[in-house]
Amino acid sequence: MHTKRVVVIGMGFGGVRAARALAGSGLDVLLIDRNNYHLFQPLLYQVASAGLEQESIAYSIRAMARQWPNVRFHLTEVTGVNFDAREVQTTSGPVGYEYLIIGAGSATNFFGLTTVQQHAYDLKELEDAEVLRNQILSCFEQAVTEPDPARKRALMTFVIVGGGPTGVEFAGALIELVTYVLAKDYPELGIHTARVVLVEATDRLLAAMPQELGMYTLQKLRSMCVEVLLNAQVVDADDMRVVLHDGAVIPAHTLIWSAGVKAAPLAATLQTAHAGGGRIPVQPDLTLADHPEVYVVGDMAWLEQEGKILPMVAPVAMQMGAYAGAAVLTREQGETPEPFCYRDKGSMATIGRNTAVATAFGLNLKGYPAWLAWLLLHVYYLIGFRNRIVVLLNWVWYYWFHERQVRLITRRKASE
């Protein structure tokens, strides 16, 4: 007797929740991803700022799958989907399905700024964080032997674009790395000349949060010596400078881009309608209009709820993934699932040691209580007991000793 197959593309937050809901259901569940691990993206910036090892925020997909009955994993790249034939095209051959859940995530959106894309660092993949950490530490090493004061200062200048949670968190982590750790590692450098510049195109930080928390974040970052530029846009860049919309030039060898995301490249290959940022419009039950057996979840899905498009954030992806998995099981029982309804449980961002902001259930938190809530929630959502322990120990160590253990340059540039 043929067992119906459910293919899940992408093992991000949405894919993991969908697989977990489908495990042991009697269906043949096949997971497909180009990486063999699930990545906890919200902590990538801590890898880049030498706070965590790469392995502590990633978890083997096969280790998860072996705990789930009737769930298998294929390490391969998805190149497209033939909806009519119900086949997923991959680099290792076609894969048939009865149900398909697409959760391939997102990619960095540079908004057509070609030179910026060529010279900026982003944080979407595990390798990106390692590359950025190498760049930051290498800049300080080069600054030690650089005789030109202007070039030395440019080597120690880091421009972060985007005043959302990622930009804010990375700016805080980077200035603390410079102030508390690198100042001791490089006593021959005038660390006070190092600059962390946060550039935001609008007139406030953390636009998705209440204005009170955005103002608190701005004041905190500035008190930590982060230079925050509001109503400013980066329009050009090269290896040695960053150019703003008003013609101002910031001499800097490192530009970090966290100003926007768009649907993963896979979305563009799919023969269906597309909306803003390349995202795919879905029905209230997260299916495609002409293909009710296909679900799109997470950052790739475009869905309006209460007059607003759901944001491209992890909580949305997790709830969509869990819903899609449960919806498949409901349909297999001959019933019609209720429409998807996102329940906003709030958002949060850490600014630095003992300092964060959070909003949840109508309450606004800031300072130490918000920081503690941020810490506990991130540890809770990490996959794997070992990862939770390693991350927690790293944070405790840093909290008491102001030390970051992962100050490793693991790859040098060819010119070096």
3-state SS string over 4-32? CEEEEECCCHHHHHHHHHHCCCCCEEEEE
Hey, is 39 helix, strand or coil? strand
Contact 271, 289 (CB under 8 A): no
Q: Looking at this protein, which amino acid is placed at residue 30?
A: L
Q: Which residues pair with 318 in a beta bridge?
A: none
Q: How far apart are CA 404 and CA 229, in angstroms?
A: 28
Dihedral angle over CA of 304, 310, 315, 316, nearest 10: 40
State how far the Cα of 58 lies from the Cα of 279, in Å rounded to an integer.
26
* Spatial distance between the Cα atoms of 197 and 105, rounded to a whole number of angstroms: 28
User: Judging by DSSP bridges, how do beta strands 249-251 and 157-161 pair with one another?
Assistant: unpaired
Amino acid making up residue 192: H
Q: Classify residue 2 as exposed, middle or buried by CB count within 10 Å of its CB (0-12, 13-18, 19+).
A: exposed
**The one catalytic residue among 53, 77, 87, 169:** 169
The dihedral over CA atoms of 164, 237, 233, 194, expressed in degrees to the nearest 10, equals 60
Asked if 255 and 119 touch (Cβ cutoff 8 Å), the reply is: yes
Q: Are 161 and 255 in contact (CB under 8 A)?
A: yes
Dihedral over Cα of 324, 330, 336, 340: its sign: negative
> Could you confirm whether 169 is annotated as catalytic?
yes
d(CA 90, CA 316): 27
Using DSSP's 3-state secondary structure scheme, residue 223 falls into: helix
Residues near 142 by beta carbon (within 8 Å), at least 6 away in sequence: 155
CA Rg value for the chain: 22
Q: Which residues are catalytic?
A: 169
